[in-house]
Amino acid sequence: MDVIRIILAILLPPVGVFLQVGLGLHFWINILLTILGYIPGIVHAVWIIARR
């Protein structure tokens, strides 16, 4: 299941974070990072998924 989350995190970072943590603080941080730059959103999403 983590492989699917990581693939989704690369394609759509907020979706990968949402599947991992739900509508928590990390989801909103990832939305902001993805808006500011796609690469920071990906890095944050993969970090969240790999950490848990």
The 10s digit of each residue's pLDDT in 1-52 is 789 989 999 999 999 999 999 999 999 999 999 999 999 999 999 999 999 7
Q: Which domain holds residue 10?
A: 2-51
Q: What torsion do the CA atoms of 24, 46, 34, 39 make, to the nearest 10 degrees?
A: 160
Q: Got the DSSP string for 16-43?
A: HHHHHH-SSHHHHHHHHHHHH-HHHHHH
Q: What torsion do the CA atoms of 46, 7, 35, 15 make, to the nearest 10 degrees?
A: -90
Task: Give this prediction's pTM.
Answer: 0.89
Q: How far is 21 from 1, CA to CA, in rounded Å?
A: 14
Residue-wise pLDDT for 8-19, tens only, equals 999 999 999 999
Q: How many domains does the chain have?
A: 1
Contact 17, 44 (CB under 8 A): yes
